Amino acid sequence: MADPTPTPTSNAETTPSPDPRDNLRIYLEANNPTLTRLNALRKTGWQNPTLSHTFSTHRLLSTSPTSSTKDTFYHMMLSIGLAMHTRTWLFAALARRPNTDTPPSPPAILDLGMAPGGFSGAALAKHPDVLIRGVSLPVSAGGHEIRIPAWETNPNISIRFADVTMLAADMDISPFEIPASHPDHGKFLHERVFPSETFDIVFCGAQVSRDQTRAAYREGREHFRLRTSQLVLAMQRLRQGGSLVVLLGRADSWETAVFLRGIDAFSKSLELFKGEGAHAKRSTFYAVAQGVDVEGEAARAQVEAWKAWWRVCTLGSEQECEEMWRVGEEEVEELIEGFGRRLLHLAAPVWKTQADALGRVLEKDEVSGIEKGWRGKGGRGAWRRKNGWV
């Protein structure tokens, strides 16, 4: 069934917006009532002390994990990887890939932001002979441990412990381009990572570490540096027709929409995956791109753009960063006209999953909080109707 014609945003709706990027949100909410509901639930959640405490507890556990917590996190990511395969048949490509190499090369994946290793573990569960290469932030620098059983003695697993945002050589930055006065001058890596290898699947799953000590200039730019550096490295190592999995957040945000448009342009298929379990109430999800045309013009142009963005965020001034992030109304309208309907189609399941999960959590909290109050005031049903749950 064809998608319904999206509702355009009128001039009256867009003119008062102080930031042109808000016009994208207005357009998306006008065409997807679930997103409107989700944004209302997000606002309620931010003001909910119980939910806020829950997220704070999760953050504390992630920064100071026990051995049991580390294993739990690994198995959670493992289950997400297996669920992703069930939905998208991601790992099936490892079995049916064309193999014209002489001698034949085994299927291989590259896992960026690898720790604790759940996605690689899922690949191993489906294809025990798969070659795994990983890049992961060292534990000493704020990273997490690899929890794949006996990975150190597995000859098919090789991990480079490094900060993926500092791979200057893979971003085509020479040592001579980095000023001696740069805060991270001595921290850049000037050798390429796994330079002679290519991969059937690349995971871009790194997140900004709360435990990493970083130079002040990186704080407002780190998520952008992290995303662009992973994508550039991924596209330089991915085999023609391979698959790319990218961790993103808030599909209704301008930045995420721009990344999704770029990925969609060079992929045969693109699906957004969000598990139903522990991460359902969060805004993160995975973009699963398959049949990636790494040799095409769209991919080459996008990689060059990502390199340029990383360069500005890493070597540029605050003014240059602000200029790069500045967005005009024409740019927003161009994205809405060319990608708006596609974005609505891609993101609808993600928004529904999160909205349903947040709704359940908030309802449970509200109901438990007033459980004694509703008993003498018309019962649970009356309270639910009064507070908009039915």
Domain boundaries, the chain: 72-249+296-326
Question: Whole-prediction pTM value?
Answer: 0.86
Nearest CA to 64 among 159, 175, 151, 139?
139
Distance CA 131, CA 133 (A): 7
Q: How far apart are CA 238 and CA 198, in angstroms?
A: 6
The beta strand positions in 49-191, using DSSP E, are 108-112, 131-136, 157-161
Cβ distance 132 to 112 under 8 Å?
Answer: no
CATH architecture of 72-249+296-326: 3-Layer(aba) Sandwich (3.40)
Per-residue pLDDT of the chain (390 residues), as tens digits, is 444 445 455 444 444 457 999 999 999 999 999 999 999 998 887 777 666 656 665 555 556 677 888 899 999 999 999 999 999 999 998 886 666 665 667 899 999 999 999 999 999 999 999 999 999 999 999 899 999 999 999 999 999 999 999 999 999 999 999 999 999 999 999 999 999 999 999 999 999 988 898 999 998 899 999 999 999 999 999 999 999 999 999 999 999 999 999 999 999 999 999 988 768 989 999 999 999 999 999 999 999 999 999 999 999 999 999 999 899 999 999 999 999 999 999 999 999 999 999 998 887 765 444 333 434 445 444 434 444 433
